Structure 1
Amino acid sequence: MQYQVLLSLWSLVAGLCMAITNDNLLQRSRKSSDNIIELTDGNYQRILGTGRNAWIMVFLTSSSPQIGCATCIEAADEYKLLAKSWFKDHPEGVSTAGEEEASLFFAISDLKDSKIPETFSFYGLEHVPKFFLFGPGGNIREYETIELMSGGGMERVLGLVSDIKKSTNIPDFNIYQPMNWSLISIVAFTTFCISYMFKRHYELTTKILSMRPLWALVWTFFTILMLGGYMFNLIRGSQLAGVGENGDLVYFLPNQSSSQFRIETQITGVIYSGLAAAVVGLVLAVPKLKSYYKGTSKSTIVEVGSSVVFAIMVYAFFAGLTSIYEIKQPGYPYPLTKVSSLFK
């Protein structure tokens, strides 16, 4: 009988010693600028499988370009917004607005390279992303799966918040969208400049704004921006670029024709701009040069030379465009011959 009592006391003391406190979880959260605890092979069992008095939401994902999970990349930014919004109102991770005090923390397990995290094997994951919500207590095998909505952006974030509120009975979970100060600054500066020019130099400003080439450039730039996927990036909140297995930058999401990094917009924008400039050069610049050198010995050389230069530019930029199509969609049937292959 005494041995049973001693064994029970020992189990209780051992459990208390192994339990992870809210302060410990808070310290781990503060190690990340996003207030998200990183689960590793060495800490996930202690964080999820020992006694605690807090809810923990876990995001199981993959940022590896080899996996090519576009939804994971979109959901990662949404998850960061979720965690930042929670800690903005609850710096200690604790809510006292409900009937009972409740603590909530956020964690992530990310497959970044070829090595599969133990958490993936432990839960038998076959696909990502996944959201698990662990309740207080510390049973590593008891959790609630929160379904991910198909639509991205703010709608999905609000859906996750709604599910968390229902499961945890935490009523005061608000989302705070970050202000796009760069866009606000650009609009304010542009408005100021136009207003100043109209007030001080009305005739000159009117003449400039009436120039057809100016509006042609503006609308060409706008068209190129939209073709490059700027609006897609704005709506989905795409990340700038990816990181490869060896830590190198990844500019394109392979095999993902419906998703992209923000840097893809910049690259395709440059290619479309170069292609447009080369076509305009063939149509307008070559005849102008021919007319300028008309009647001289250089007329034929200038016409042929400029035509060849612009034609090569068209080919080079279009080849770059089709190369991107091949990366995004391997079955793309219309690749152009790469100039470098001629010298192999």
Structure 2
Amino acid sequence: MLALVLVALGALGYDASSYVQSGLIAQWDGIDNAGLGFHYSDATVWKDLKGIYDLALTAKGSWGANFLQVANGCAANYGAKGPTDYLTIEVLYRQPAVLSRYGYLLNSGDKYHYVLIKEDGKTVFFNGSGGVDDIIAYDTLDGEIHAVAAVYSSATAVSAVYTNGVTATGAAGAASYNAGKGWLMLGDRELSATYPWSGEIYAIRLYSEALTPAQIATNHLVDSVRYLGATPDDLLAICASPINLDVTLSPGYAGRDGLAAGESLAVSAPAGEVTITDGFKATCTGWKLYDAAANVVDSGNGNSFTYVHPTPAAYRKLEWQFATAIRVTASGAGGTYTPAEQWVAFGSPASFTV
């Protein structure tokens, strides 16, 4: 059953490592919520995939299919210091269309430096000191999933705001954020019942640098494919079966977007047997190509070929096929085990005699 879950999620083509990695200091991912490569519904903490700030969940937080459901309050808290110069925060979330109370999804621990708030029917990226000039509002309370990102500067406060992967208009901030001083927290102020936040959190990423518009757009594309089921016509998504293995692919698991109709692209996987880690090896046996409806439209043997994007342009997913094997050993006081060691396919049982 575990192997089947891994295949289903891996089939999306992107994984938690497909986002921009430069400057990434903390990452909470709703699909890979426990650092296992898939969604674990019994997880009691939300794993920080890039840092040390695992979030111990409270009774106010529960797991959905690929998100954390926060009910009227603080689902978790952590104490990470913000970087000294720039801080980029990306959040993929959904709030109910109607909320009667304010809420803080992320804040700096300083009451004058909220990062993402719901206030009077809007989402607020920054609230310096309660003044109108310090508030950047984005009206998103429509019950849909939205991506928001804000770049904070220790000198100029909010230097850029993005909504659903593109630059938001009218974004400005008069006060600098508490760089390196305030505590960054998920959820409302823990001791306050006045400002609860409610909704679904799909992903949060924190960066110690200012992401560029192109990097924001890249991350939003990955979010759109993984969480929203997007199938852009210019995208070749790339994954592996039975799981996304730690091997060098070209292009990598991030795939390749921006492909024009008829454009060719050299693609390859490792040749021969590859040791993934001690006791786990894999060999590429071929590939399958899927369309947006998950139909196999082409396949082949070997570990490399020249891919040609369809005309007219349409989404494709390349799935490299791997034969995997795990080394299993047995020993104990009950006698001699035969065989003492064997290699079995990933997800298959191992049998021993005593």
Q: TM-score, normalised by structure 1?
A: 0.22
Higher strand share: 2
Rg: which structure is higher? 1
Higher helix share: 1
Q: TM-score, normalised by structure 2?
A: 0.21
